[in-house]
Amino acid sequence: GNVFAYVYIIILGSLLLLNDLMGLMTENVKHLNFCPYSYFYSTIFSLFHILFFLSDLNAKGAVFQAFEMYRLKSCVDFKPYEGEKTFIKFEKLDGCWSFVGDLQTGQELSLGDGCDHKAVIEHELLHALGFYHEQSRTDRDDYVNIHWEEVQQGKEHNFVKYNDSFITDQNTPYDYESIMHYGPYSFNKNVSAPTVTCKIPEFDNIIGQYLDFSNMDIIRLNRMYNCSSSLTLLDHCAFESINICGMIQSSKDDEDWVHIKSISGMDDHTLLGQCRGKSDDINSTFNTNQSAVLESRILYPRRDLQCLQFFYKMTGNVNDKLVIWIKKDDGTGNVRTLVKVHTFKDSSWKIAHVPFQATSKFRYLFQGVKGNPAQSNGGIYIDDINLVETRCPSGVWQIKNFTGFLLTSPSGEYIQSPQFYSPEGYSYGIQVIPNSSYKGYTGIFFHLYSGVDDGALEWPVANRQASITVLDQDPDIRLRMSSSKSFTTSVTQDGNFYWDNPSKNGKYDSNCQCYKSGTWGWRTFISHYDLHRRNYLKNDDLIVFYLQMKVVEYNKHHATFTFYNLLCNLNKYKRNVLCVKNVSTFLYLSLLQIPKFRIRCTRSVCVITMPRLKEFSEAFRKKVIDSYEYGNGF
């Protein structure tokens, strides 16, 4: 079986200040990377609980985002701390830094001001897992120049080159794109003078990227920990292999899906017709209301929520339909209970997200239903499927012909999104500025709208982490380097009531016939260079995700608690017993004052005993904070 590497985590610290969202986040962060030991984490552990004492909600959310990227792209997981000798302790100290490798006595990882960014935390955790900077490789002088005369005094250790008897490159080539590589101006004395330049100048714009792991970062991580699996990816299919990812044709439909190569007018999404990529489709030879059903292989979930993401195109009749089903275990061990999930209609390549809540083995199904074939010369196409155990984004905005906006939009002019609603009922919008006032960058800003549910909502809306992502449209979700940024709302953020009811503090907008709040965001969300370098503008579409999560304040007296069942299987015949699986934290201190209250924990389950459990359960729930469960894996 696969080896899963687990690391114990403690998160501590006082209030962390929010990044300056209006400016460019610095990539030149402080590191103290010494390695008195050459150990790294490699032991298999069971699930423990994390002690959360981190006051800053945005920093805590960014840590969870980084954890989710590790789970998606590698076999490494970060498990809760329970008094073990080896652990990583997150604190707000001076700058962003980590020790390299396992000190075997517990160790600090600093997230100072401006460090609450997913990519920064990914970088620092790689240090803790045993990685040095890319420019510290033994062969680095073949690839980059270090300009020592421009390095700040006292920062020289960040550019040390190590002998190959001390570190290993995992038999991989030099990676300019590594998240562990410094940028040209790291720790420089003079603003305009670089400390690192590439022997091949074209790579100067690539080193120092803080988008996400590079593909080589993940190859090395999995080699170091002797595995290659993802912890949260259930299925991926781009239809490029002959076995179509183990999918099967249903025997109870009218026709079959066809595995086709791209031709003019019938391009796939993976390669957009270049090199004759492949997709699956149904065509216009069907009769009206005839259908074809394509089923996935049987899948075994680890979590109780999943998100199916895929691209689809419908070029036939306007009455053609694409229906998504989930076939669940019927309780006998057979996967045969059908549940209709969603129906799609569209005429060009478009991204789709379908949330599942499978708790036992299941299949997902694509059913293509034909409209009027006499008026159709096209078909229904699907491609680039990824099924991940995470939350689907709250909002998805696909902007077509974005290159045209880059070429023609004046500086500062924005494109306005449709009006979206979060799962809680808050209405919001997003503005994309193709040509920001910060030259060479695209900006993205967020705002609230007045909405139909405002009278029933909490105002001001505080303690919500808003995460915005510009999608790297690589077919394989594990290889994507999407650009993501987050901020967390507060009652008086930046001295202004941005997050109060827009009907109270906003301005009337005739376009939506509603009120709009002020905007909050980043002038430098993504560089034009990066937009054109990877798959951000595939098919000339810019795809923006939005995910909003409610988070809660923490202090040393309380944290989170996750309910599993009022009665677990082991105690279902006992009275006044509450069993909770995967406990993450503690109860309020007031709960400890309940007479005859008793809690008994193993490594994965806590059993709570108290008088009159049935009558007390609702009050008990209200006194417990739901665990923060981050989910943006895209």
Task: Note the pLDDT tens digit of each residue in 385-408.
Answer: 999 999 999 999 999 999 999 999
Residues 214, 347: one domain? Answer: no
Residues 450, 305: one domain? Answer: no
Is 117 known as a binding-site position? no
SS3 41: coil
Residues 210, 276: one domain? Answer: no
The H or E element containing residue 13 is: none
Is 157 known as a binding-site position? no
Between CA 502 and CA 523 the distance in angstroms is: 23
Residues designated as active site: 124
The total number of residues written for the chain in this structure = 634
Task: Note the pLDDT tens digit of each residue in 318-343.
Answer: 888 888 999 998 877 777 776 777 77
Task: Note the pLDDT tens digit of each residue in 233-285.
Answer: 999 998 887 778 888 876 665 566 776 765 555 565 666 655 455 555 555 45
When mean pLDDT is compared across 279-283, 347-351, 610-614, the lowest value belongs to 610-614
- Residue 499 pLDDT > 60, yes or no? yes
User: How much is the pLDDT for 288?
Assistant: 64
Which position has the higher pLDDT, 54 or 526? Answer: 526
Residues 131, 151: one domain? Answer: yes
CATH number at residue 26: 3.40.390.10
User: How much is the pLDDT for 550?
Assistant: 76
Mean pLDDT of 74-88: 82
Containing structural domain, residue 491: 395-550
User: How much is the pLDDT for 431?
Assistant: 98
Residues 427, 529: one domain? Answer: yes
Q: How confident is the model at residue 421 (pLDDT cuts 50, 70, 90)?
A: very high
Q: Which long-range contacts (CB under 8 A, 24 or more apart) does 269-274 make?
A: 269/311, 269/313, 269/349, 269/381, 269/383, 269/384, 269/475, 269/538, 269/539, 270/238, 270/239, 270/240, 270/383, 270/384, 270/475, 272/538, 272/539
Q: How confident is the model at residue 439 (pLDDT cuts 50, 70, 90)?
A: very high
Domain boundary pick from 550, 579, 602: 550
Residues 152, 273: one domain? Answer: no
Residues 258, 350: one domain? Answer: yes
Structural domains of the chain, count:
4
User: How much is the pLDDT for 188?
Assistant: 96
Task: Note the pLDDT tens digit of each residue in 85-108.
Answer: 788 888 888 889 999 988 888 888
The alpha carbon of residue 112 and the mean position of all alpha carbons in its chain are separated, in whole angstroms, by 22
Residues 40, 182: one domain? Answer: yes
Is 127 known as a binding-site position? yes
Which position has the higher pLDDT, 68 or 87? Answer: 68
pTM of the predicted protein model: 0.80
CATH number at residue 302: 2.60.120.200
CATH number at residue 476: 2.60.210.10
User: How much is the pLDDT for 262?
Assistant: 59
Domain boundary pick from 182, 199, 224: 224
Domain boundary pick from 388, 422, 441: 388
Residues 534, 471: one domain? Answer: yes
Residues 536, 609: one domain? Answer: no
Which position has the higher pLDDT, 606 or 222? Answer: 222
Termini Cα distance of the chain:
27
Residues 214, 320: one domain? Answer: no
Concatenated DSSP letters of 489-532: --TTGGGS-TTS-HHHHSEEETTTTEEE---EEEEEEEEHHHHH
Residues 420, 402: one domain? Answer: yes
